[in-house]
Amino acid sequence: MPAWDDPKTVAANDPGRMLAALDGYVDDFLTSWKAGSRGPLKIPSPLRNVVISGLGGSGIVGSLAAELVRDSCAVPIVIVKDYDLPAFAGKDTLVICVSYSGNTEETLDVALQAKGKGCTLITISSGGRLQRVHGAHEQHISVPADRQPRAALPLMLGSLLGVLSGLKLTKHRLEPASERHVRSFHEGVKLSTSEQTNRAKRTARALVEKYPSWYAARPLVGVALRARHQINENSKMLARNDEVPECNHNDLVPWGETRDGARHWVGILRTASDPPQIARRLDFFIDLLERQRVTHEEFVADAPGVVGQVLQALVYVDYVSVYAALLRGVDPTPVPIIGQLKDLLAKHGRAPQLAKQIP
Ligand code: F6R
């Protein structure tokens, strides 16, 4: 019997209830979007640039949001996934720091530098020290503290997009028809939907114990990155990702020469509205993988509108990663090795100094 058909096996393999955390995907996203946009939010005038800082399960929301709003945002958005605020940041910069725990030292460091340079600071966390670092204005958005950071993606992405939309930095929203589409797709990948018709379970079975590579073009580049992270953390497997068209200028070469196609699994994330110049590249790649006998799968996010497409693809890859964990018999929730590194850093890293600066 497959690992997901027996409720007792599922409960035993998923004691942290990672699957249950995915249940409220669309509701969490929309509720936090509303809360994020409510404000009152203040930004510098004139606003010259935006920095979004965060790591891992929190950092990915910056990547996703920046990619999503790129076609409509009038100012540059720079993503920071380390300790340093870029030198250009100043009084005309909006810095948004996202950390689910609110205690990630890289993000705290950036927040303090932002405060020191007089940037406008908005923080998003479920608590921790981050909510106590205030910039020119006190602007903190709180999300519920009841899950693993990566399982809080819908809450944090919704909050961040809500902020960007409240500040008129994006015109995108999840239109009602798109919301209906994503909700219906979501039903089809839940545990209660059998493998025969459940796209995420089928993908998990195909990639498990292989070396998965995820590919996408804008607006799904961040989703391919998310897929890798989720396969790493939930399924505890190595994985990789790359982006089109850039990877057509380098990564394409080994696929043309591969001698160990059976070891790999390739996932291609597309949208129903990919422009022809992108679709042609993806079709070429798929033909190549067929010739090289590499197992591959296309996933087409077909929700109307770009926000719905991103959300639909996120729902898909998140479920795939938890189903792969169930198939492997590993608990998707704990990531003890990340905890061990954080414990070490808490004693010897920047954390002790930061703790003094943010009581
Ligand atoms: C854990 C996870 C990690 C954390 C990262 C940063 O579920 O996904 O990648 O997100 O270690 O921690 P936070 O999100 O608390 O800033």
pTM of whole model > 0.95? yes
Catalytic residue among 67, 105, 106, 233: 233
CB 54 within 8 A of CB 62: yes
**What is the per-residue pLDDT for 348?**
84
**What is the per-residue pLDDT for 321?**
98
Pocket test for ligand 1, best of 55, 123, 234 (most atoms within 8 A of CB): 55
DSSP 220: S
State which H helix or E strand residue 52 sits in.
strand 49-53
188 CA from centroid of ligand 1 (Å): 28
Average pLDDT value for residue range 303-332: 97
Among 118, 62, 53, which Cα is nearest to 85's?
53
Pocket test for ligand 1, best of 338, 341, 342, 354 (most atoms within 8 A of CB): 338
| 355: confidence class by pLDDT, cuts 50, 70, 90 | confident
Rounded CA separation 256/292 (Å) = 7
Pocket test for ligand 1, best of 58, 147, 156 (most atoms within 8 A of CB): 58
Long-range contacts of 244-252 (CB under 8 A, 24+ apart): 244/215, 244/216, 244/217, 244/278, 244/281, 244/282, 244/285, 245/217, 245/277, 245/278, 245/281, 247/215, 248/281, 248/285, 252/285, 252/288
Ordered strands of the 240-243 beta sheet: 240-243, 211-216, 264-271, 295-301
Minimum mean pLDDT range among 44-48, 133-137, 299-303: 133-137
Average pLDDT over the chain reads 95
Q: Half-sphere exposure (CA, 13 Å, Cβ side) for 343?
A: 6
Residue nearest to atom 11 of ligand 1 (CA): 56
Asked whether 101 lines ligand 1 (CB < 6 A), one says yes
User: What DSSP line would sit under 239-308, residue for residue?
Assistant: -EEEETTGGGGTTHHHHHH-S-GGGEEEEEEEETT--HHHHHHHHHHHHHHHHTT-EEEEEEE-SSSHHH
101 CA from centroid of ligand 1 (Å): 7
**Percent of the chain whose pLDDT exceeds 90:** 87
| 126: confidence class by pLDDT, cuts 50, 70, 90 | very high
CB 35 within 8 A of CB 157: no
Rounded CA separation 61/160 (Å) = 8
Task: Answer yes or no: 249 catalytic.
Answer: yes
CB 33 within 8 A of CB 161: yes
**What is the per-residue pLDDT for 138?**
67
pLDDT over 60 (residue 120): yes
Residues with Cβ within 8 Å of residue 253, at least 6 apart in sequence? none
Asked whether 55 lines ligand 1 (CB < 6 A), one says yes
Asked whether 58 lines ligand 1 (CB < 6 A), one says yes
Asked whether 159 lines ligand 1 (CB < 6 A), one says no
**What is the per-residue pLDDT for 137?**
54
**What is the per-residue pLDDT for 1?**
66
**What is the per-residue pLDDT for 221?**
98
CB 109 within 8 A of CB 83: yes
Question: pLDDT tens digits for 266-297?
Answer: 999 999 999 999 999 999 999 999 999 999 99
Task: Answer yes or no: 342 catalytic.
Answer: yes
Angle at CA 343, nearest 5°, toward 337 and 349? Answer: 115
Structure-block tokens of residue 134: 């205030």
pLDDT over 80 (residue 14): yes
149 CA from centroid of ligand 1 (Å): 5
Task: Answer yes or no: 243 catalytic.
Answer: no
Q: Does residue 86 have a cis peptide bond before it, meaning omega lies within 30 degrees of 0?
A: no
**Ligand 1, atom nearest to 149 Cα:** 7
pLDDT over 60 (residue 135): no
pLDDT over 60 (residue 217): yes
Q: Which residue has the higher pLDDT, 93 or 72?
A: 93
pLDDT over 90 (residue 184): yes
63 CA from centroid of ligand 1 (Å): 14
Catalytic residue among 140, 190, 210, 342: 342
| 136: confidence class by pLDDT, cuts 50, 70, 90 | very low
